[in-house]
Amino acid sequence: MNLPDDFAFTQGSLQDAADCLRRFELRYIKRLRYPAVEAAPALQFERRTRQGARFHKLVQQHLLGLPAETLARSLHDDPELATWWETFRRTGLAGLPEQRQAEITLQTYLAGRRLTAKYDLLALDAGGEAVIVDWKTWRRVPAQSYLESRLQTVLYRYVLAKAGAHLYGAQIPPEKIRMVYCFVARGGERLSIDYSAEQLRKDEDYLLNLIAEIEGAEQFTLTEDESLCRFCTYRSLCERGGAGPLDLLDEDDELEEEDFVLDFDQIAEIEF
């Protein structure tokens, strides 16, 4: 395996490895560019991705001091995004601790490997709660069990417990950590996931095993769950289906937008 010594594991790379070692190899070791995506559904997903990026930028600008009303006036070209913004203004920061850090990155080390987490928002109360807030623009709210199993939840809570002391004033007890997913396209509905010392130990074991699996792989095998190939643009390389139209709007599909693999290098820079 030719993974650089300074490689930083993120929630995205760890999720790729958990889903399919072959995808991890193609993306992070061989660094292959994605085969071209095709057809209107993929373009529609690109539009959704741009909307989500633009929304997160609005939140960041607001938390840095720009008035919400000023930002709202820039949304005349996208009524759906304007609705999300109004939802955020009503509900986005309600009930959160007052010490807030937006778009902050923390890192820690495990088994000699760097783990990196970039947070939408950390809301902290020294001696009290440490809340990780993540805004989602998904059209549906998934089951809490789905979110609990995602590497984003696993990694974000673990890294905050290990690396958040300088923000909190002391090492943060796992029981004080809570992760909140806010679904602005669903009226601001929230799902809250608590943490504990026992769960931290389980997460550490899981991360250790996943890293060991990646580093010890002699062959990066394809996933046995071919449903995960449906939204992977490497699928034609693996002979798991052609590069035909993606059914991105299937309401019965359990996968969410973050499961799609999209080459942001092939998308023009987003203007705000």
Q: Over the stretch 104-148, which tens digit does the pLDDT of each residue have?
A: 999 999 999 999 999 999 999 988 999 999 999 998 999 999 999
Give me Rg for the CA atoms of the chain.
19
pLDDT at residue 2 is higher than 80: no
Helix (H) or strand (E) holding 208: helix 197-215
User: What pLDDT, on a 0 to 100 scale, did the predictor assign at position 1?
Assistant: 59
Return d(Cα 71, Cα 156) in angstroms, integer.
29
DSSP secondary structure code for residue 28 in this structure:
I
Tens digits of residue pLDDT in 167-189: 999 999 999 999 999 999 999 99
- Alpha-carbon distance 39 to 36, whole Å? 10
238 pLDDT band, cuts 50/70/90, is confident
What is the enclosing helix (H) or strand (E) of 47? helix 39-63
List C-alpha distances in Å: 106 to 79, 102, 156, 167, 252.
Answer: 34, 12, 9, 10, 36
Give the whole-number percent of the chain exceeding pLDDT 90.
70
Give the max Cα distance, the chain. 55
- What is each CA distance from 56 to 89, 202, 206, in whole angstroms? 13, 31, 30
Of 112, 106, 115, residue with least CA distance to 5 = 112
- For the stretch 45-71, pLDDT in tens is 778 888 999 999 999 999 989 999 999
- Amino acid present at 98: E
pLDDT of residue 46: 76
Domain boundaries, the chain: 8-262
**Among the listed residues 236, 133, 270, 263, the one whose alpha carbon sits nearest the alpha carbon of residue 190:** 133
Q: Is there a contact between 195 and 178 (Cβ–Cβ < 8 Å)?
A: yes
Task: Give the confidence band of 231 by pLDDT, cuts at 50, 70, 90.
Answer: confident
In terms of Cα–Cα distance, which of 43, 12, 37, 32 is closest to 117?
Answer: 12
235 Cβ neighbours under 8 A, 6+ residues apart: 229, 241, 242, 243
Domain 8-262 is found in CATH 3.90.320: yes
Q: Are 49 and 268 in contact (CB under 8 A)?
A: no
Specify whether the CB–CB gap between 72 and 82 falls below 8 A.
Answer: yes
Average pLDDT score over residue span 95-110: 95
Q: Is the pLDDT of residue 242 over 70?
A: no
Quote the DSSP letter at residue 27.
I
